[in-house]
Every structure is written in C-alpha cells, then in structure tokens.
Amino acid sequence: MAARSKKAHEAAEKLCCAAAAGDTTKLAKWLEKALAIQTLNSSAEGELSAMTHKALCDALLHGHVECVRLIVDARVDVNMACEDGETTALHIAARVGHARGVQLLLDAGAAVSTRIRASRSADDLPKPGEPSAACASRVSPLHLAAQNGHEACVLCLLGASADVDATTSKGYTPLHLAVESGHLPCAQRLIDANASAEARTLRGYTPLHFAAAAGRTPCVRCLLGAGAAAAALTARRCTPLHLACRAGHAACAALLLAADGPRLVHMLNADEDTALLLAADNGHPGCVQLLLHAKAAANQRQGSGFPLFLATAKGHSECVRLLVEAGAALDEDMSPLRDAAPFNSSSSSLPSDGPSPPHGEAKAHANAARLARSPARGRGMTTGTVTTGHAAAEPSEEAPDEAKHSAQHGPRSWLGGLVSRLTPRATVYSPLGAPAEEDGRNSFMELDMISP
C-alpha cells in the first residue's frame, strides 16, 4: 500500500512538471500512469485528481494549449476549485488571457459565471497550491478578462452567455473594470453585448465616473456615445467632471463639458464644491482654463472657500493667473486675499521656532500671491483679452485665438476642438481599483479597492 501511495505521489508530481514545461510527450505518459494507478488504488484517486487539476492550472498559467487539451480530454473535473477552495481553471485562463484555454474549458463544461473572493490585485490571484488572500468581493471570469484587457477571452465568455452585468459585492461590473483600466476594445465588446453604461456601484459610481477619474479619454468618449449620463452623481454628489478635474485629466473634462457643460460647471458635490475649485486647489491649470471658458464662476465662495484663495495658498501660480484674468476678486479686503495673507508675507514673518518652507515652495507661494495682487485691467478672459500689471500674467499664445473662436462659435465648439490637442496625464491605479468614495478634498481619491 505504501509503495502504491509513493507511486501515486510521484505520478502527481511528474504530471505538474510536464504541464508547466509544456512537454506533451511526458504529460501524456504520466496521465496514462495516473489513470492506471487510480484504477488499481481507489484511495489514491483524490490526490491524483487534485494534482491533475493543478497540472491543468499550471498549463494554463504558462500558455501551453496542447497540454490543456490533453488534460481536458482526460476528463479532469474542470470545475474543481484550487486549494484556495474557490479559484477555478476558468478564472485563471481569463486572468492570463488564454483564450484557447478558455474555449477548451467552456467546451468541457466549465461554469461560466462562477464567482470567487478577490485578493488585493489581479497579480495576486491565488496560484494552484497557494492559500487565498481573500476579501469580501466576488469576481467572475468575465470581470477578470475585462479588467486585464483580454478581448478574445471576453468574446468567448460572452458567447457562452456570461452575465454581462454581473456585480461584485461592491457593485462593480465588468464594464466598470474595463474602462477604469483603459481597455477600450473590451469596453466596446461589453457595450455591444448590452452592458449597462449606467450601472451603479454601492456608492453610486457609474463606469463614466471610473473612466473620468482614471483619465481614460477614449473610454469616456465611448461611454458618452453609448448614452452614459455626464451629470450622474455618486452618493456624495460627485459628477464625472468633479473626478476628472480633481485628478487633472483635461481631455476627459473637455469631453464632459462638451456633452453637458452649462449644467456641469455649476454642480456642487456634497462638500458644496464645484469642479473649478477642485481643479484650482490641486493645481491643474488646463482644467481651470476649460472650466472658465465654459462660464464657471471664478469668484463664487464654495464649501471649501474660494478657488483663488486655494490656488494662492498652495502656490499654483498658473491657476491664479487664469482666475485673476477671469475676474476673481483682487481687492485686499476680499476674503480670498485676506485669508491667504500668511502665504503672501515674507519668510521673515514666520515664527522663529517653526520650520522654514522649502525655497521652491516659498517662491511658488510668493509668485502666486503677487499674481493675485496684480491690478487687472480689462475684462475677464471669458469676454475678452486681459492685461495685468506683470508680464507673468500675460495670456498664453493660444489664448487670444481660442477666446475669439469661443466667442464666434460658442464654448462647446471650442471645447470640442481642444479635446484632440489635450494629452491626459497618466495616472496609475491598482488593478480593479476604484475612485473610492470621496470624503473631502484631501482624501477624495482614497483607494478603496477590490481586486481579483
């Protein structure tokens, strides 16, 4: 009996080694031996079945399609879970983008919508034999294929009637994950399969919120074309424009403004802040300029203060210049400048026992304050060219032509033309990461993620 058990263990190890190496000759040999051992020793059946399944997963992970075919033809249970108790071979094939493996498994009867709990990232999906680092979320093979950009796998799964609007425990659909990761072909396939562009997470995020927050301009355009609402609100009343401007994604902001600008520019989130305040506070002059051209109120007090005060306080000189040109308050008695006084004074007025600001930061604050105090002559940039008392406040080379174009054709025409010239900033998000619930300006993009 001990000798038979030893043979079973040896056969199991050889199976896995051959599958991982892609050696079909050795794999066929050890599959035959394993079957013979199972016939003679029923007590070894459990171990050999588990190891044969592990060999299947190893073959999928390494992309050895002929090995996958051999193992599937040996009638392994394709729905058996790995040692974590949840991950199936189909989840692994979908994650790594093994489209032929996905189709072989589906043809062999793999369950297309089995859910698993998720670990912190797609790369952390438990491998065969590894314990699961599980959390509360549950993802399907379609979630994994869409999030990782595997279009062929998405097509295979949709062809097998996978639930296109399946949700994780936080309400994320495959479309949320495809657009957040910037995988336009997968997103388009899902939309063509009638995925909802208005699907909501538990906190109210639509796929458009995800795409705008991540700066995925082509996906934003695709979703708007599919009828996604540009003015959709999260549970804390954030629009996609709030998210795009908070992160500095000017091209996404331009698309959103072109879709519903007159409404979006004045919308307040739960903190009673507009997109303009968020853009100014975080130092994104491209977004500030877009919003001002779309008639955002430059001198309106909001929940977190005035845009000019926040831009001045943080040393965002270019944002200050744009706001001043648009008519933001310049009077010393007005609260934006009065409240920013500590930043406008010289460094000698700082407490002697306090830390001195870095030279670059102090200079930025001084420049911003100087711009804010500059006497503005002429009208705001939304109605004409503005000249201030300092060369630093001169409009950019493109500003006069764009202002003229805006006056002639309206802000929507100007915004549409600008989209093609704007390059969105790259933002790195963790796999399956969401633009998590915004809680004030500073923790707005707190990562509250799921991952497969």
pLDDT, mean over the chain = 74
Which whole-number Å values give the CA distances from 380 to 40, 84, 383, 389, in the listed order?
A: 89, 63, 6, 15
Average pLDDT in the 303-307 region?
Answer: 89
Determine contact, residues 34/52, Cβ cutoff 8 Å.
yes
For position 154, what pLDDT does the model report?
98
Q: Does 332 score more than 60 pLDDT?
A: no
Question: Per residue in 292-302, pLDDT tens?
Answer: 999 999 988 88
Q: Does 52 score more than 50 pLDDT?
A: yes
For position 237, what pLDDT does the model report?
97
For position 7, what pLDDT does the model report?
64
CA separation for the pair 428, 441 (Å, rounded): 20
Average pLDDT in the 332-345 region?
Answer: 46
CB count within 10 Å of CB 391 equals 6
Residue bearing the bigger pLDDT, 433 or 158: 158
Residue bearing the bigger pLDDT, 132 or 1: 1
Q: Does 389 score more than 60 pLDDT?
A: no
Determine contact, residues 247/424, Cβ cutoff 8 Å.
no
For position 36, what pLDDT does the model report?
74
For position 51, what pLDDT does the model report?
79
User: Is the CA virtual torsion 255, 259, 260, 262 positive or negative?
Assistant: positive
Average pLDDT in the 36-50 region?
Answer: 59
For position 8, what pLDDT does the model report?
63
**Which residue, chain included where needed, has tokens 């400048």?**
337
For position 379, what pLDDT does the model report?
35
For position 59, what pLDDT does the model report?
94
CA separation for the pair 426, 403 (Å, rounded): 28
Question: Per residue in 272-289, pLDDT tens?
Answer: 999 999 999 999 999 999
Q: Which amino acid is at 166?
A: A
Give the model's confidence band at 374: pLDDT under 50 very low, under 70 low, under 90 confident, else very high.
Answer: low
Give the model's confidence band at 373: pLDDT under 50 very low, under 70 low, under 90 confident, else very high.
Answer: low
Question: Per residue in 56-107, pLDDT tens?
Answer: 999 999 999 999 999 999 888 899 888 777 789 999 999 999 999 999 999 9
Q: Does 252 score more than 80 pLDDT?
A: yes
Stretch among 210-224, 363-377, 421-435 having the lowest mean pLDDT: 421-435
Stretch among 159-173, 198-212, 391-405 having the lowest mean pLDDT: 391-405
Give the distance, in angstroms, between the CA of residue 405 and the centroid of all CA atoms in the same chain.
34
Radius of gyration of the chain (CA): 29
* Separation of first and last alpha carbons in the chain: 41
Give the model's confidence band at 421: pLDDT under 50 very low, under 70 low, under 90 confident, else very high.
Answer: very low
Q: Does 352 score more than 60 pLDDT?
A: no
For position 69, what pLDDT does the model report?
94
For position 386, what pLDDT does the model report?
27
Both tokens of residue 350? 């700082």
Q: Does 378 score more than 70 pLDDT?
A: no
Q: Does 440 score more than 50 pLDDT?
A: no
Average pLDDT in the 200-224 region?
Answer: 98
Stretch among 101-110, 206-215, 424-433 having the lowest mean pLDDT: 424-433
For position 303, what pLDDT does the model report?
87
Which one of 115-129, 272-286, 398-412 scores highest in mean pLDDT? Answer: 272-286
